[in-house]
Structure 1
Amino acid sequence: MSMRESSAFALLSLWLSRGDRFRKISFRRWIPALVVATSALALFWTYAVPQLARFRFRAGLSRYDMGWYGFGPTRNYVSFGEESPIIEISPAGAQCDPRYTFLAPRGDSVVHPGPMILDAAGELIWTKPNWGTTQDFKVQRYKGQDYLTYWQGDEEDGHGRGSWYMLDSTYTIRHIVSPSGIIEGDLHDFQITSNNTALITAYEPIPYDLTSVGGPEFGWLYDGIIQEINLETGELLFQWRSSSFYPPESSYEPMGGKGHERTLGYDYFHMNSVDKDDRGRYLISARHTHTVTCVDGTTGEVLWSLGGKDNEFFDESDGAATQFAWQHDARWQSPNTLTLFNNGANAASDSSSISHGVLLKLDIPARKAKVLTSYDHPQELMVVSQGNLQVLDNGNVLVGWGHSAAFTEFSPNGTMLCDVHFGASAYFTFGRIVSYRSFKNNWIGLPDTIPDAAVTRESVFVSWNGATEVATWRFQAWDGADLNNMTFGTIKDVERTGFETEISFTPDLKSYFRVVALSSEGAVLGITEVLQRGTAPMEDTFTLDHSWRVAIVLLFVLCCLTFGLYFAISRVLRYQRSQRDMSYRPLSHKDENEDDPENGLGQLPI
């Protein structure tokens, strides 16, 4: 190799090595950014993507369902201190059953959870804020009289510890029901039978060998218990335990880290409803075994099991009749038909299945089952917990969607007639507003309180929590004669408009007045306190309606994203400019000497 060729090769080698060094330096600078970006992407995929997948935005959603008015829009009242939900009814012109709706809304978007009655238009009839959790609010008949019944207590590890309350037409608590023995009442079911007895559910932690399902030898199992008790005396008439007939291996519920402590037992069965027919047979729904069980009312023996790992029935509907999962609210409709709410989905697993109500027909001697009718929501709701199905007196079917803030009325053949939302459906899977069950029924409320009233400068607002029979409000003014023996004369009658009615003052009203509640027949139902016309307007408080709240939150998020993107792009551009500046930086005299192949310092060997 000639000297000239050797020098050229040395120069090329030096240039390539210098480029490699620059590329290595540049790559090292990008390593932290790549690590941060990869970590952020992993965190986004692990935590953000599952949450984003829970949103249920779709074409055709109304502004209400999109959340424009909030997760759970509510209305306030002038004369009453509580709120009530603003509902949306679809389709346009829907003919909903005219009876009252019974709910117990709760969740992060519910300020004061408790039982609630609404009329068919969504107007508030009665509400009662309760401590703890309220569930299973409905009307039941006991000894020829209608009662409001609900469970109230503390929710713990998927079940409840509390009691059942029975209120009469004045909303006075007449009975508080608890299980027989030392166990506490569970939140899932309370049914008053035609014999004036009560069917209740309860859970009891018992010592159990759980090695068959991968648990500890000395573990704890939640035993599902049903009791039938005499409501008047509290006498235990019948008791059945799930552990006597179903082993832990029959469960679909993952054990996880449970079963090691008494207060955190393995809830393998999760009983959530019990019913009894005229033949004395009990019908039991167990969510975690995916079974509906028929139990002999005398011996307690299991007569048959539908669904789950121990299914005894041939499915004539290609799996639709027996492959229900995580279900609720199994009820007799006849000796050979039953209804249930098929969740199909669970919060821990199977979170993508569609929920629906179903009417099943059984050929019990031949052990065959088939679906007669399916009641499906047009938005294909995924209800991960709760829910119920009620067959109304007119043959229509009401489905309460539990974890989703909605209830829907269907015709007997499954055609949707009326869909009511009391929360924005795009966020149903977040469970911000839920109601364990939803019911419709007749009810007459005659509260033993007096009507509520609030006076402004030009009018009075009047309401009466729980009163169902008020048709007219009569405005009466003091005649001005005797303060010690006041008499009032009628000024005008105003038709009741919803829960709260505003009555404008007449010009001649000078001082004291009262408002009288009248029935449709003109009977006096109640009278407010004596009131006085206000001389100053009520203090106004600045509040934002739900649409503005949502708009402000969206604007804040958009601003954060915009600024974050701006700073990220600015940082990248600054870095690129700095790299360009470095690539054109003149070499120092020292650097030139070190890299010059003509001097002896930087010359490479030949």
Structure 2
Amino acid sequence: MLGFGLLLLLCLQNVAAWYSDDDLMSFVTVSGAGPSCLCPELDGGSANLRILVQLPDVRAVKFDITYQDRNRVAPGYWFVSPYLHISPDEPTSLYEQYQVGPHIYDQDGHLIWTGSPVFDNRNVFDFKVIHSIGNEPHISLILQYTIDGSERGYGMILDKNYEVFKKVPLRQDLGLFDIHEFNVLKDGKTALATVYLNEEISLAEFGRPEEQTWLETGGFAEIDLNTAEVTYEWRSYNQIPLAETVHYGPSSAVEGPPGWDYVHINSVDKNDNGDYLISMRFTNTLYLISGVDGRIIWRLNGQHNGDFEQDFTFSKQHDAKFLESQGTRHIISFLNNASDEEYAEEEVSSALIIEVESGTFPMTARVLRRYNRPDGDLTRLRGNSQVLPNQNMFVCWSQGGYISEFSVEGDPLMSARFTSPRYSNYRAYKFEFTGRPHTPPDVVSSVIGTDESNLVTTFWVSWNGATDIAYWNFYAQASQFDKPVFVGNVSKTEFETMFIAKGYLDWVTVEAVDRDGKAFGISKVHRTSFPNWETSGWNGYSSSPRPNNPATIHQDDSSTTADGWTSDEDLLPTADDPADAQIRKATLMLMNTYETMRSIGGLFALVLLLALMSGIMASFMLIRGWRVRLYQRVPMEARYPD
């Protein structure tokens, strides 16, 4: 019974690795990280049981998801970039667990790819798929500047293998690479970036000619992707008067550098005519800028008199993009925040699609579609909207990673947000995408058992970034020179998959298979880790077990069910006596409990697990004085302004 108790405790401890945290995912296999070490040891010769669990540092944020009508949502993956603070963290934060940066999730909230280790746990913004370079999809993103100024930030393009294709700097006199926009244009040759610069100006416009203040001007640059040369640039000062700002007034106090952020540009797009559409958050205005001479062609103002007769208002808007632009008629989408850190002009934020006609007199602007934030709240900072290929609307409401999808008719279909309120997301997108990492799948395996009759090998496998895995095939071989033997398979549902095979299998590999049954990736050969048999409750005939020859214990198809999947019953050895039968039954119950926990939902599973673990832990704490190390949370995000 002691041996079985230790076995039960070890397995529960390993299962708890996935469910002990309510807002962050944990993994055994990520980026070649070491195995989960199921190694009970006697600490310093005492009777205290010490279980070493080595987990990789990737802790992806979890989602809470609600579907109103899943059948109508568009296909695709979520492209999000969680961050804790909008500004770069102090250098010491580089050594926190990998949590922020670019991530891809499926529509069940399962992680597909994490790029946090690739970008050193740094903030990444505007993370999305682009189709304008060659015949293959690519990924574009903004890698934020570092707090010490050692790196000024970049626009980056990755290929479908998640490897850097282009790294685009901003010309040094244009300052740091801004986090708001990296818009690769349709020709695939240039990209647009927002620009923030500082200069000292006179306040004569406000009737204070004897006074000067520093001003943070907003502008944009068009950058050649091959040479990084700036092919066009524009700045707001001397184009947009101080009087247009809603953030400052004639009596505002002067400021030192960086100065008044009087327009706050947050998006830029370009149409086929060569003109530019920009959004200025602190003037509540969209501007069309001439690509010939930089003049303002027209202003669409959200709150005051602009150049249009319009049937709607908006304010503090983000992410204005052309959906169509033909001559004088433009279809534009944007997020109407309707509020900022200080004021709210409306009761709820919304995503808008509008029609602008500048060829009539008077010029007109009208709403074609409106999508109100489903929870009736306001997005005071950041956010974006995206029209999907099936005309559904996908919206990021920013704070807490809140995202929504609507049908073309305006029906809410899905809402999701990060389980942890500590994280936010500037922009989120949804795309169909096929990722093919060059790295092989990661596999970890461990063996446990109390004697030769009940040894089992547990596999964990993941492949960071592979999008179209249907199931995994598992193989073992007697030595590195022997032919691999098929030992079972299991369908892939989450980022990391667990599989249990009978016997002590030492040399193991795992193969990824797509929906058409085609194998397209295989792991490196991995050696199975094992516990300290002397202290693990081993009661076998020898002092330690020897690995099994998989060709002997998996020599026929009797261990597979009719549809080809391995049966839980057949993973365990046959019992020859009542004691072995009890161990077999209990171990099978544990395996089934694990699968049940995965299927009934995180919260209920967590409650059940905590209750079970509390009883076991309390018993051992009373008997052996076991001390538990608790997870330490990361502090809440500071609410810094943009």
Using the size of structure 1 for normalisation, the TM-score is 0.70
Q: Given that residues 444 and 528 in structure 2 are in contact (C-alpha distance below 8 angstroms), is that contact kept between their aligned partners in structure 1?
A: no
Pick from 332, 336, 346 the counterpart of residue 322 of structure 2: 332
Pick from 416, 430, 434 the counterpart of residue 424 of structure 2: 434
1:194 counterpart letter in structure 2: K
| Aligned twin of 2:511 | 516
C-alpha distance in 2 between matches for 1:520 and 1:382: 42
C-alpha distance in 2 between matches for 1:92 and 1:370: 29
1:466 and 2:465 correspond: yes
1:344 and 2:334 correspond: no
Q: Given that residues 348 and 373 in structure 2 are in contact (C-alpha distance below 8 angstroms), is that contact kept between their aligned partners in structure 1?
A: no
2:233 counterpart letter in structure 1: Q
> Measured at CA, do residues 307 and 93 of structure 1 come closer, stay the same or move farther in structure 2, by a change above 3 Å?
closer
What displacement does 1:393 show?
A: 0.6
Q: Given that residues 225 and 240 in structure 1 are in contact (C-alpha distance below 8 angstroms), is that contact kept between their aligned partners in structure 2?
A: yes
> Measured at CA, do residues 226 and 259 of structure 1 come closer, stay the same or move farther in structure 2, by a change above 3 Å?
farther
What displacement does 1:137 show?
A: 0.7
What displacement does 1:70 show?
A: 12
What displacement does 1:271 show?
A: 0.5
Q: Given that residues 305 and 311 in structure 1 are in contact (C-alpha distance below 8 angstroms), is that contact kept between their aligned partners in structure 2?
A: no
C-alpha distance in 2 between matches for 1:408 and 1:345: 19
Aligned-pair identity in percent equals 29
What displacement does 1:140 show?
A: 1.2
> Measured at CA, do residues 71 and 490 of structure 1 come closer, stay the same or move farther in structure 2, by a change above 3 Å?
closer
C-alpha distance in 2 between matches for 1:132 and 1:86: 19
| Aligned twin of 1:443 | 433
Q: Given that residues 221 and 231 in structure 2 are in contact (C-alpha distance below 8 angstroms), is that contact kept between their aligned partners in structure 1?
A: yes
What displacement does 1:267 show?
A: 0.8
| Aligned twin of 1:414 | 410
| Aligned twin of 1:78 | 28
Secondary structure of the residue that 2:404 maps to in structure 1?
strand
> Measured at CA, do residues 532 and 143 of structure 1 come closer, stay the same or move farther in structure 2, by a change above 3 Å?
closer
Secondary structure of the residue that 1:288 maps to in structure 2?
helix
> Measured at CA, do residues 286 and 516 of structure 1 come closer, stay the same or move farther in structure 2, by a change above 3 Å?
same
What displacement does 1:161 show?
A: 5.0
1:153 and 2:144 correspond: yes
What displacement does 1:167 show?
A: 0.9
Pick from 174, 183, 188 the counterpart of residue 191 of structure 1: 183
C-alpha distance in 2 between matches for 1:381 and 1:148: 31
Provide, for residues 416-441 of structure 1, a one-character-per-residue CA deviation record: whole Å limited to 9, x for no partner: 121122246xx6xxxx3211111011
| Aligned twin of 2:351 | 357
| Aligned twin of 1:492 | 488
Q: Which runs of 5+ in 1 are unaligned?
A: 1-68, 552-606
What displacement does 1:528 show?
A: 2.3
> Measured at CA, do residues 104 and 257 of structure 1 come closer, stay the same or move farther in structure 2, by a change above 3 Å?
farther
What displacement does 1:221 show?
A: 1.1
C-alpha distance in 2 between matches for 1:212 and 1:312: 20
| Aligned twin of 1:221 | 215
| Aligned twin of 2:103 | 116
| Aligned twin of 1:31 | none
Secondary structure of the residue that 2:100 maps to in structure 1?
coil
C-alpha distance in 1 between matches for 2:507 and 2:184: 49
Q: Given that residues 114 and 133 in structure 1 are in contact (C-alpha distance below 8 angstroms), is that contact kept between their aligned partners in structure 2?
A: yes
C-alpha distance in 1 between matches for 2:122 and 2:274: 34
C-alpha distance in 1 between matches for 2:496 and 2:400: 28
Secondary structure of the residue that 1:249 maps to in structure 2?
helix
C-alpha distance in 1 between matches for 2:500 and 2:529: 12
Q: Which moved more, 1:380-389 or 1:128-137?
A: 128-137
1:273 counterpart letter in structure 2: S
1:297 and 2:288 correspond: no
What displacement does 1:180 show?
A: 3.3
What displacement does 1:110 show?
A: 9.3
Q: Given that residues 156 and 166 in structure 2 are in contact (C-alpha distance below 8 angstroms), is that contact kept between their aligned partners in structure 1?
A: yes
What displacement does 1:503 show?
A: 1.3
What displacement does 1:84 show?
A: 2.6
Provide, for residues 143-200 of structure 1, a one-character-per-residue CA deviation record: whole Å limited to 9, x for no partner: 22322111112488xxx95211111111111211122352222110111111221111
| Aligned twin of 1:94 | 70
Q: Which runs of 5+ in 2 are unaligned?
A: 1-18, 31-55, 86-95, 448-456, 537-601, 611-642
What displacement does 1:314 show?
A: 4.2
Q: Given that residues 300 and 308 in structure 2 are in contact (C-alpha distance below 8 angstroms), is that contact kept between their aligned partners in structure 1?
A: no
C-alpha distance in 1 between matches for 2:25 and 2:207: 51
Name the count of aligned residue pairs. Answer: 459
Alignment map for 1:264-413 (pairs within 5 Å): 264-307=258-301, 311-317=305-311, 320=312, 323-335=313-325, 336-350=330-344, 353-365=347-359, 366-413=362-409
What displacement does 1:448 show?
A: 1.7
Provide, for residues 324-356 of structure 1, a one-character-per-residue CA deviation record: whole Å limited to 9, x for no partner: 111100111222221110111111333874211
C-alpha distance in 1 between matches for 2:165 and 2:265: 27
> Measured at CA, do residues 435 and 70 of structure 1 come closer, stay the same or move farther in structure 2, by a change above 3 Å?
farther
1:172 and 2:163 correspond: yes
2:401 counterpart letter in structure 1: A
Secondary structure of the residue that 1:227 maps to in structure 2?
strand
> Measured at CA, do residues 127 and 213 of structure 1 come closer, stay the same or move farther in structure 2, by a change above 3 Å?
farther
2:24 counterpart letter in structure 1: T
Secondary structure of the residue that 1:188 maps to in structure 2?
coil
Q: Which moved more, 1:495-504 or 1:512-521?
A: 512-521
What displacement does 1:377 show?
A: 2.1
Provide, for residues 388-425 of structure 1, a one-character-per-residue CA deviation record: whole Å limited to 9, x for no partner: 1101111111111112421111112222121122246x
1:117 counterpart letter in structure 2: I
Q: Which moved more, 1:406-415 or 1:246-255?
A: 246-255
Q: Given that residues 74 and 388 in structure 2 are in contact (C-alpha distance below 8 angstroms), is that contact kept between their aligned partners in structure 1?
A: no
Q: Given that residues 201 and 272 in structure 1 are in contact (C-alpha distance below 8 angstroms), is that contact kept between their aligned partners in structure 2?
A: yes
Provide, for residues 53-93 of structure 1, a one-character-per-residue CA deviation record: whole Å limited to 9, x for no partner: xxxxxxxxxxxxxxxx9998222122233123332322455
Q: Given that residues 250 and 309 in structure 1 are in contact (C-alpha distance below 8 angstroms), is that contact kept between their aligned partners in structure 2?
A: no
Secondary structure of the residue that 2:243 maps to in structure 1?
helix
1:379 counterpart letter in structure 2: D
| Aligned twin of 2:196 | 203
1:504 and 2:480 correspond: no
Secondary structure of the residue that 1:75 maps to in structure 2?
coil
Q: Given that residues 87 and 420 in structure 1 are in contact (C-alpha distance below 8 angstroms), is that contact kept between their aligned partners in structure 2?
A: yes
C-alpha distance in 1 between matches for 2:130 and 2:97: 26
C-alpha distance in 1 between matches for 2:435 and 2:512: 13
C-alpha distance in 1 between matches for 2:348 and 2:97: 26
1:390 counterpart letter in structure 2: Q
C-alpha distance in 2 between matches for 1:331 and 1:422: 26
2:180 counterpart letter in structure 1: H
| Aligned twin of 2:475 | 476
> Measured at CA, do residues 121 and 110 of structure 1 come closer, stay the same or move farther in structure 2, by a change above 3 Å?
farther
Using the size of structure 2 for normalisation, the TM-score is 0.66
| Aligned twin of 2:125 | 135
Q: Say which one has the larger Rg.
A: 1
| Aligned twin of 1:527 | 522
C-alpha distance in 1 between matches for 2:99 and 2:115: 8
Secondary structure of the residue that 2:211 maps to in structure 1?
coil
Q: Given that residues 451 and 465 in structure 1 are in contact (C-alpha distance below 8 angstroms), is that contact kept between their aligned partners in structure 2?
A: yes
CA RMSD of aligned residues (A): 3.1
What displacement does 1:454 show?
A: 2.4
Provide, for residues 67-125 of structure 1, a one-character-per-residue CA deviation record: whole Å limited to 9, x for no partner: xx999822212223312333232245533322011000112799621000001111100
C-alpha distance in 1 between matches for 2:164 and 2:381: 29
1:190 counterpart letter in structure 2: F
Q: Given that residues 477 and 505 in structure 2 are in contact (C-alpha distance below 8 angstroms), is that contact kept between their aligned partners in structure 1?
A: no
Secondary structure of the residue that 1:179 maps to in structure 2?
coil
| Aligned twin of 2:627 | none
